[in-house]
Structure 1
Amino acid sequence: MIIEIYKNAGNNPVIQLVIIAVVLDTFFGCIRAVKDKEFNSCFGINGAIRKIGMVVSIMALILVDRIVGFNMIGFLPEVVRGYLGESIGLTEFFGLLYIAYETVSILKNMALCGLPVKALWKTVKTFLGRYTDELPDDDELVEESEDK
């Protein structure tokens, strides 16, 4: 039964996006680590713990949603609700938070790798900053801007 639950959950676009975001953040974190010749928050023990925590919590929340069936749509801003429909479970709710967090981290890593995405990163960070203060640290980007 649990295997069937996870097979069905694999078709959930939010879960798929979380996995893609984790992989992309790890990829760009690795590129940044090679460029800087040092481990960083995406390609080190802290990053690994955070990413494993996201995946394990998503797996646990799939089971919780199956058992309890929470509807978390009321906790999301009106703008987001229009895209998601009338109901989302804990899995999708936390999945959206993980995707937002990882998106900022991916863009930060891309900028630190030298890709021209700093303006996009600032736009996304500003948008998400309206709804949360739990965003990844951006000290490295601020330091890099001050150096120039």
Structure 2
Amino acid sequence: MEHIEIVQGYLFGDVKFLDFLVVLIFLDIFFGVIKAWKKKKLRSRTAWFGYVRKIGVFGIIIAANIIDTILGLNGTVAFGTVLFYIGNEILSITENCAELGIKIPSIVTDKLQVIQKEDKEKKGDKNE
């Protein structure tokens, strides 16, 4: 157990809320799989790429920790990176729950619709 703590300290430093991010990632995977199963769109290849992206998040956090260490920023970049991904995971979990029919407050679903509309518009601009 001591070796794990040494490796975690070396790779991630003292990044706060990393454990919370891990829990959110597992919840997002859980609700994402349930949503895909319900919509009959559960595909191993799609799931595989999703898992790889989740692992990539930790790679980015490690890189942020290295930047903090080199520049002597006391974890500022890594902490900001973790907060960004926490927000991203909460958004994804909320979207998955809404698509599963779990009641979400209207103020939240209204914001999600605005975000989804903006994302579609950005993707439309790229295709032109």
**TM-score normalized with structure 1 length:** 0.58
Mapped pair 1:66 → 2:53:
no
**TM-score normalized with structure 2 length:** 0.66
State whether residues 35 and 96 of structure 2, in contact with CA within 8 Å, keep that contact through their aligned partners in structure 1: yes
User: 76, 81, 90: which one pairs with 2:77?
Assistant: 90
CA distance in 1, matches of 2:79, 2:28: 19
Going from structure 1 to structure 2, the CA distance change for 1:22 and 1:35 (only over 3 Å counts) comes to: same
Shift of 1:29: 0.3
CA distance in 2, matches of 1:32, 1:38: 8
Q: Which amino acid aligns with 1:100?
A: G
Superposed CA RMSD = 3.5
Mapped pair 1:21 → 2:24:
yes
Name whichever of 4-13 and 88-97 sits farther off: 4-13
Going from structure 1 to structure 2, the CA distance change for 1:137 and 1:110 (only over 3 Å counts) comes to: farther
How many matched pairs? 113
Q: Which residue of 2 aligns with 1:100?
A: 87
Deviations 1:82-135 (A, max 9, x none): xxxxxx511111111111111110000011112112536336649xx8xxx7xx
Gaps of 5+ in 1: 72-87, 139-148
CA distance in 1, matches of 2:20, 2:107: 19
* Greater share of residues in helix: 2
Gaps of 5+ in 2: 121-128
Shift of 1:5: 6.0
Going from structure 1 to structure 2, the CA distance change for 1:69 and 1:119 (only over 3 Å counts) comes to: farther
Going from structure 1 to structure 2, the CA distance change for 1:54 and 1:30 (only over 3 Å counts) comes to: same
User: 50, 69, 79: which one pairs with 2:53?
Assistant: 50
Alignment of 1:101-116 (within 5 A): 101-116=88-103
Using the aligned pairs only, state the percent identity: 28
